[in-house]
Chain A
């Protein structure tokens, strides 16, 4: 992307020269990962009992054509998948040794097939049906607040303000969305007020971190405590004393997109959603465009990478940061609305349950890029959904292990095992003119 050419322009000359002379070291990290996972798939295939069967449910009501329950003989299916995975791993190793660039389809295909192999093994002879569509819908539902939160963090950090308070912004959004929807008896009013709540928390963050230059991480941590306390206090007083007025359940209606929503499997997952989810698609797309193709985006990145240079050419550094963090807060507030009106639930104490921190992790794993953050958040949502599904059908793998997965991957990413993660250069540094 364009920001990489900007930031690595200085160092690019060197590696190019190296590759011309053939000194560039081969990166074995990914091929080895593929090999290990392929070996795991073989192990799955080996341990499937003979004659076992795995059931998948692929359909949900209202498709163009009903797909019957898919029943696979587990052992052959496991072996076929394992062989393909081994072949893909071999291809990756061959490509690495020949210094050929791997294309994006390889990891994606590998990931999907590995998950399938895992499901075939996990569901073998359990007598339970693996509800694939339900699982994917659940994965998207779990991802929505994460994606909103990651976009919020991204807008702030690209301009140089670390936002640990995503959790607080989600929670504030969830709270005000529920209250506004309940008071006006309209879920759409909740959608109007949720961004305001998030933006207010964002405003507090910049008030302390930009105006008074308090350490941004400290302000973020404290704001989390403040909002948890505040919403908890109001929940235990006003909201529980008079739930009909303040905390009645309201739900955004589902708006299936005609045509698209009837595609089997992906239709009901992606296109039979509330307006909030469609807004999310829009926001990710817009951010991805404007961050790299607009004046606002260029200025945001300039302020985050080298505020002094930005100031020299006349960009108001601190004003830019204030606007961006408040905008990010509004985005996170919308994400918080998904917890309450998006799912038709009343507000509950601490209902964001750490989603803000996972969103932070998704943003880092996605390298401060909208599409990367989107994919990372989807991965986290999927692994949680998989964990929940496994917990209900009962498998040898504890669901907690899968629930831990997002955090483990993030630690590995930050420690440099999964590519290199580079934050914006001026991230966390207050700008004093």
Chain B
């Protein structure tokens, strides 16, 4: 460690310079995310199609009947196709019946139950996803949804069973506790970033793991869990602190869904209509310009993560007070990482995030039924999710897969063949020459600014 001391002693001055790579990466990040937002809904639909195809391949590969029919594929190819079709129809229809509408259910109430289940699963996803989306819009990658959800659930659950208060007050207090817990956890990363320039990606990842151990420790403390047993499980949330059911017994849908709707509207107002939201977007687009315009960038940076953490904490609180009622070590599941997917899928827009939360909630709810009825493990939902986001993040790839025209209007294939031709016959073909040259020069000029000189040059780059 003394080597570090010497290094530090030698270079006390260049603090701003050292922050520049990260600052520059942020400018680029916000631009990348903005570009993500400009892709059309067609790409989203096609991404879902690609994901379903990938999922289909996995389902078929793992199915024993299909494997059996494959062994006599050359003798009887139709058998293989028939079995495959049968297996896929069963799996994906179970996914649909579990997520949206079950036409095989005995009663009308039971047949719409899947849709309400989808809503139940989507509540924490939407709330936490909104938090992540605010971060994205402000140029910050908040990977800490998981930790913030855990802290929100931890404090909301504790307030839910440790206090005894009248019904309305109790639930509000527990929700507020959840928001506070998440906001503190997000705020740690925010304040550290604002004051010391610590990279929020790394800090939030570390905070996720700390939160997991913190909850594990709390669940061994009798003052916290109040059960009297040695099980790492807390006691159940009081009736007065539970989020009330919206559709009565038989349905799990609870008031958390209303909170999610309100939060979506609130975040929309915050980002699109309020001064604070303008500041957030400004530091996301260009921190230097924001500073020049008189925005207190450190303060806004810290506030972004406080609010993002608060929303994720609210999601954790709604999850515990509405569905789980008890705290266990794995109470958050993979919600935090799913929330990142939700925000990416929703293109960091409030309404988009809401819809993406419903989509992923539907995949979860449908995945449960699919696992129960066809034995397809629910892990496939993770694969679908990942493929969707990868495809949405790389629209050129989607266009390439479906032979769609390039973004600038020319069809892909002709362009590629044209390039090959010119490469082969050097500079002889005069007809296409000027076009190609302009393309290459425009590329070169756009590449000039992002060299590692200072954050301002890169962030001011118009980015076409």
Using a CB–CB distance below 8 Å, which chain A residues touch chain B? 4, 8, 11-12, 14-16, 18-19, 24-25, 27, 30, 101-104, 106-107, 164, 208, 212-215, 217-219, 221-226, 228-230, 232-238, 241, 305-306, 308, 354, 357-358, 360-361, 364, 367, 398, 400-401, 403-404, 407-408, 410-411, 414-416, 418-420, 422-430, 432-433
Docked pose: A420 CA to B13 CA in angstroms: 12
- The 8 Å CB contact of A403, one of B141, B213, B444, B446, is B213
Asked if residues B9 and A15 are in contact (CB atoms below 8 Å), the reply is yes
Min CB distance, A102 to chain B, in Å?
A: 4
Q: Which residues of B approach A to under 8 Å, CB–CB?
A: 1-14, 17-18, 20-22, 24-25, 28-29, 32-33, 58, 62, 64, 141, 143, 192, 196-199, 201-203, 205-210, 213-214, 216-217, 220, 334, 337, 340-341, 344, 377, 379-387, 389-390, 393-394, 396-397, 443-444, 446-447, 450-452
Please report the C-alpha to C-alpha distance between residue A232 and residue B341 in the assembled complex, in whole angstroms.
Answer: 19
Q: Shortest beta-carbon distance, A232 to chain B, in Å?
A: 3
Q: Quick one: given A219-B393, A432-B443, are A232 and B377 in contact (CB under 8 Å)?
A: yes
Taking the nearest CB of chain A, how far is it from the CB of B301, in angstroms?
A: 14
Evaluate contact between B203 and A411: CB separation under 8 angstroms: yes
CA distance A427 to B201 in the complex (A): 13
25 contacts between A and B (CB under 8 A): A15-B9, A15-B12, A24-B12, A27-B8, A30-B1, A164-B201, A208-B397, A219-B393, A222-B390, A222-B393, A224-B337, A225-B385, A230-B382, A237-B377, A308-B452, A398-B220, A400-B213, A400-B214, A407-B207, A410-B206, A414-B202, A414-B206, A418-B4, A422-B18, A433-B444
**B interface, by DSSP: helix, strand, loop or mixed?**
helix
Q: Which residues does chain A contribute within 8 Å of B197, judged by CB atoms?
A: 416
Q: Would B28 and A429 count as touching, CB distance under 8 A?
A: yes
Residues of B within 8 A of A230 (CB): 58, 379, 382-383
Q: Is the CB of A208 within 8 A of B62?
A: no
B217 to chain A, nearest CB (A): 4
Nearest-CB residue, chain A, relative to B18:
A422
The residue in chain A whose Cβ has the minimal distance to the Cβ of B371 is A236
Give A305 to B381 CA distance when docked, in angstroms: 39
Q: In the bound complex, do residue A226 and residue B382 qualify as a contact, i.e. CB atoms below 8 Å apart?
A: yes
The reply to whether B383 and A226 form a contact with Cβ atoms under 8 Å apart is: yes
Bound state CA distance, A232 and B62, in angstroms?
12
In the complex, what distance in Å separates the CA atom of A215 from the CA atom of B7? 31
Assess whether A24 is in contact with B344, with CB atoms less than 8 Å apart.
no
B340 cross-chain contacts in A, Cβ below 8 A:
221
Cβ–Cβ < 8 Å partners of A238 in chain B: 62
Contact present for B377 and A233 (CB under 8 Å):
yes
Complex contact B13–A14 (CB within 8 A):
yes
Closest to A106 in B: B2
Partner of B10, one of A15, A234, A425: A15
Shortest 3 CB-CB distances between A and B: which pairs? A229-B382, A232-B379, A226-B386
Contacts of A403 in B (CB 8 A): 213
Given the interface contacts A12-B10, A12-B11, A229-B386, does A404 sit within 8 Å of B209 by beta carbon? Answer: yes
- A420, B6: Cα distance in complex, Å: 11
Q: Please, which residues of chain B bring their CB within 8 A of the CB of A219?
A: 390, 393
A-side contacts of B334, CB under 8 Å: 225
Residue of B nearest to A402 (CB): B213
Question: Would you call B11 and A414 a contact (CB within 8 A)?
Answer: no
**Set of chain A residues within 8 Å of B206, measured between Cβ atoms:** 357, 361, 407-408, 410-411, 414
- A residues within 8 A CB of B20? 425
Most buried by B among A235, A361, A422: A422
Distance between B50 CB and nearest chain A CB, rounded to angstroms: 13
For B1, list chain A residues within 8 Å (CB): 30, 104, 107, 419
Q: How far is the CA of A27 from the CA of B58 in the complex (A)?
A: 58
> Contact at B393–A11, with CB atoms within 8 Å?
no
Within the complex, the shortest CB–CB distance from B166 to chain A, in Å, comes to 36
A229 / chain B contacts, CB cutoff of 8 Å:
379-386
Q: A222-B341, A226-B383 are in contact. Are A425 and B452 (CB under 8 A)?
A: yes
Tell me the minimal C-beta distance from B319 to chain A in angstroms. Answer: 19
Q: Given A229-B380, A229-B386, A419-B4, A364–B202 Cβ distance below 8 Å?
A: yes
Cα distance A222–B47 in the bound complex, in angstroms = 14
Q: Is the CB of A217 within 8 A of B382?
A: no
B residues less than 8 Å from A30 (CB atoms): 1, 5
- Bound together, the chains give a CA A235 to CA B8 distance in angstroms of 48
Also in contact, A428 and B32, with CB within 8 A (given A11-B13, A221-B143): no
Q: Tell me the smallest distance from the CB of A68 to a CB of chain B, in Å.
A: 35
Q: Give B453 Cβ to nearest chain A Cβ, in Å.
A: 10
Given A308-B451, A420-B7: A415 and B203 interface contact (C-beta under 8 Å): yes
Residues of B within 8 A of A217 (CB): 29, 141, 143, 201
Residues of B within 8 A of A414 (CB): 192, 198-199, 202-203, 206
A241 and B64 in contact, given A225-B386, A233-B377, A403-B213 (Cβ under 8 angstroms): yes
Closest B residue to A419 by beta carbon equals B4
| Complex alpha-carbon distance, A215 and B343, angstroms | 14
> Shortest distance in angstroms between A408's beta carbon and chain B's nearest beta carbon?
7
Cα A291 to Cα B6 with chains together (Å): 22
Taking A11-B11, A101-B6 as contacts, is the C-beta distance between A432 and B337 under 8 angstroms? no
Residues in A with CB closer than 8 Å to B13 are 11, 14-15
Q: Please, how many angstroms separate the alpha-carbon atoms of A18 and B11 in the complex?
A: 10
Residues of A within 8 A of B24 (CB): 429
Q: Are the C-beta atoms of B383 and A429 separated by less than 8 Å? A: no
Q: Told that A361-B202, A401-B217 touch, could you supply 9 new A-B pairs with CB distance under 8 A?
A: A12-B11, A24-B12, A25-B12, A208-B393, A213-B32, A217-B143, A237-B377, A410-B202, A433-B447
Residues of chain A within 8 A of B25, CB atoms compared: 427-429
In the bound complex, CA of A360 to CA of B390 (Å): 22
Nearest chain B CB to A426 CB, angstrom units: 6
The answer to whether A408 and B210 touch across the interface, beta carbons within 8 angstroms, is: yes
**Chain B residues near A234 (CB, 8 Å)?**
62
Residues of B within 8 A of A212 (CB): 393-394, 396-397
- Which residues of A are found within 8 Å of B390, using beta-carbon distances? 208, 214, 219, 222, 226
Are A232's CB and B21's CB within 8 A?
A: no
**Which B-chain residue is minimally distant from A309 (CB atoms)?**
B451
Would A426 and B21 be within 8 Å (CB), given that A101-B2, A106-B2, A398-B217 are in contact? yes
Query: Contacts A103-B2, A233-B377, A411-B206 given: A218-B344 contact, CB under 8 Å?
Result: yes
Please measure, in the bound complex, the distance between the C-alpha atom of A36 and the C-alpha atom of B25, giving whole angstroms: 37
Expressed in whole angstroms, the minimum distance between the Cβ of B67 and any Cβ of chain A is 10
Chain A: which residue is nearest B395 at the CB level?
Answer: A212
Is B394's CB under 8 angstroms from A214's CB?
Answer: yes
Min CB gap A360→B, angstroms: 7
Bound form: Cα–Cα A221–B379 in Å = 16
Candidate in B2, B207, B216, B446 with the most chain A CB atoms within 10 angstroms: B2
Task: Identify B394's interface contact among A208, A233, A358, CB under 8 A.
Answer: A208
Known: A223-B386, A416-B196. A407 touches B210 (CB 8 A): yes
Given the interface contacts A30-B5, A217-B141, A225-B386, does A306 sit within 8 Å of B452 by beta carbon? yes
Partner of B196, one of A241, A415, A419: A415
Q: A104 CA to B1 CA in the complex, in Å?
A: 6
With a cutoff of 8 Å between Cβ atoms, the chain A residues found around residue B201 in the complex are 164, 217
Shortest C-beta distance, A409 to chain B (Å), equals 9
Q: Is B205 in contact with A215, judged by CB distance below 8 angstroms?
A: no
Q: Which residues of A contact B446 (CB under 8 A)?
A: 432
Q: Are B192 and A419 in contact (CB under 8 A)?
A: no
A188 vs chain B, min Cβ distance (A): 27
Partner of B9, one of A24, A208, A235, A354: A24
A314: min CB distance to chain B, Å: 17
Please give me the residue from chain A that is nearest to B199 by CB atom. A414
Contact A433 B380, beta carbon cutoff 8 Å: no
Which chain A residue lies CB-closest to B344?
Answer: A218
Cα distance A235–B4 when bound, in Å? 45
Q: CA separation between A228 and B386, bound complex, in Å?
A: 10
Most chain B Cβ neighbours within 10 Å, of A8, A228, A411: A411
When the two chains form their complex, are residues A432 and B450 in contact, meaning their CB atoms are under 8 A apart? yes
A235 to B21, CA, bound (A): 40
Contact residues in A for B447 (Cβ distance below 8 Å): 432-433
